[in-house]
């Protein structure tokens, strides 16, 4: 038996099989037929060419929950089915009476109303002259299989709905975040413009310089924010990409050349990246401000590496170097204070010394809790 084959192999089409069958069945045809009918769990029916039901096997009566065959005897077979399937059944009967086999899957409740799905084969029964005399219909109960398939389809549909809802929420968040980004940028720009206006009013005096300084710091803060490119779909950002873009932006704004050494690929939370951005912005600003030699812009080198003690960030220049006895913790400058506050916030510390080129070298060792990465220098 090959139930899933599009067309079942016919014994009559195989002379070798036909001969064997004829020999084996000789004299016991009826007995064999009864055994097959009685032993099958499928619902097997014999249908007259006019579509009326002339026989249903015991297994069929059982699965169809029909107590007595007399209830359905001689009734049109198609009437046992829901009305919407009747055209399909009538066609199957017509096709079988013309010698063709039909297979289909359809829903039909039992006589007691129990819902059931059936896989049905309708085929011609020929007499010894090859003429179609009756129709055989075999219905297999596939309710469990269809229920499981429908459950899978339903689960897939629910999943697809959830994904679509999440996509829509993400798209909304993108728009919202873009709007927030835009507003933050505008707010930063307004504050910088206001401070610069005030600085111009106090041009030449100490208040003017302090205001100009404040404006520059806020402009840097805006750059640190702008380069974050927050993605609502991911909670972490690629630190190397962020540092590269920030260095390019700040370098461009301050007219400095910044060489970036190869950096490992590590991921970090945006808030930690923003803190690292603040530290780098201060160190780069210092290199530009204090690291130039007789009017020459300093050559600044920036490196990031993963070390046993933590994530190392180095900013060095080829300027005159740090003043004698320099202690980054001791000064009154805002830059060093900003660096050490953010460094301790990220579980680290900062050290200062001389670079290979004779300039200043700052190294910040950090242990940001959000850090994830392979640590391989790339
Ligand atoms: N790259 C550098 N080269 C030489 N000296 C430096 C360098 N970076 C910092 N310094 C020294 O360290 C001091 C403290 O730096 P800090 O950034 O704290 O203050 P600042 O730059 O003077 O002022 P601000 O408060 O505007 O940052 C500087 O005044 C400078 O003497
Ligand atoms: Mg400074």
Q: How do residues 68-105 score in pLDDT, each as one tens digit?
A: 999 999 999 999 999 999 999 999 999 999 999 999 99
Q: Are 301 and 316 in contact (CB under 8 A)?
A: yes
Confidence (pTM): 0.60
Decide whether any atom of ligand 1 lies within 6 Å of the 354 Cβ: no
pLDDT in tens, 189-238: 999 999 999 999 999 999 999 999 899 889 988 888 877 766 665 678 89
Q: What is the pLDDT of residues 132-145, one digit of tens each?
A: 999 999 999 999 99
pLDDT in tens, 12-40: 778 888 888 888 888 888 888 889 889 99
* pLDDT tier for residue 8 given thresholds of 50, 70 and 90: low
Residue 36 Cα to ligand 1 middle (Å): 99
Cα 109 to Cα 10, 41, 72, 103, 112: the distances in Å are: 31, 17, 15, 19, 8
What pLDDT, on the 0 to 100 scale, is given for residue 5? 43
- Quote the pLDDT of residue 194: 93
Q: Which of 288, 336, 338, 343 most suits a substitution to test ligand 1, by most atoms within 8 Å of the C-beta?
A: 336
Task: Give the tokens for residue 144.
Answer: 């469990």
Query: Per the structure block, which two tokens stand in for 131?
Result: 């003429």
Q: Per-residue pLDDT tens for 256-272?
A: 889 999 999 999 998 89
Q: pLDDT tens, 96-123?
A: 999 999 999 999 999 999 999 999 999 9
Nearest CA to ligand 1 atom 30: 290
Q: What are the tens digits of pLDDT across the range 324-378?
A: 999 988 888 889 999 999 999 999 999 999 999 889 999 999 999 888 876 433 3
Q: Does 291 have pLDDT greater than 80?
A: yes
Nearest-angstrom CA–CA distance, 336 and 326: 11
């Amino acid at each position: 038996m090959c139930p899933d084959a599009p067309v079942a192999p016919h014994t009559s089409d195989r002379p070798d099989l036909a001969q064997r069958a004829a020999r084996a069945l000789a004299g016991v045809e009826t007995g064999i037929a009864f055994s097959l009918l009685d032993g099958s769990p499928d619902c097997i029916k014999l249908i007259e060419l006019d579509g009326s039901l002339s026989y249903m096997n015991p297994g069929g009566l059982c699965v169809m929950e029909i107590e007595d065959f007399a209830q359905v005897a001689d009734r049109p077979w198609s009437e046992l089915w829901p009305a919407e399937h009747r055209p399909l059944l009538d066609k199957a009967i017509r096709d079988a009476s013309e010698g063709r086999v039909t297979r289909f899957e359809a829903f039909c409740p039992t006589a007691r109303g129990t819902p059931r799905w059936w896989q049905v084969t309708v085929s011609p029964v020929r007499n010894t002259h090859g003429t179609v005399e009756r129709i055989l219909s075999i219905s297999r109960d596939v309710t469990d299989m269809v229920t499981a398939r429908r459950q899978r389809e339903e689960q897939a549909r629910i999943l697809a709905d959830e994904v679509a809802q999440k996509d829509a929420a993400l798209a909304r968040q993108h728009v919202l975040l873009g709007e927030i980004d835009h507003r933050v940028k505008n707010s930063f720009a307004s504050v910088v413009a206001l401070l610069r206006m005030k600085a111009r009013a106090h041009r030449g005096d100490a208040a003017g310089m302090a205001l100009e300084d404040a404006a520059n710091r806020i402009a840097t803060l805006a750059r640190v924010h702008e380069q974050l490119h927050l993605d609502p779909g991911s909670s972490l950002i690629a630190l190397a990409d962020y540092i590269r873009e920030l260095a390019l932006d700040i370098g461009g704004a301050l007219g400095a050349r910044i060489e970036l050494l190869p950096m490992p690929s590590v991921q970090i939370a945006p808030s930690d990246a923003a803190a690292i951005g603040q530290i780098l912005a201060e160190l780069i600003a210092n290199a530009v401000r204090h690291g130039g030699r007789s009017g020459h812009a300093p050559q600044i080198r920036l490196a990031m590496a993963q070390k046993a003690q933590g994530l190392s960030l180095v900013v060095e220049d080829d300027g005159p170097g740090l003043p004698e006895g320099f202690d980054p913790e001791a000064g009154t400058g805002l830059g060093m204070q900003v660096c050490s506050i953010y460094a301790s916030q990220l579980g680290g510390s900062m050290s200062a010394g001389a670079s290979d080129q004779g300039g200043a070298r700052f190294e910040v060792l950090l242990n940001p809790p959000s850090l994830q990465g392979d640590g391989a220098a790339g």
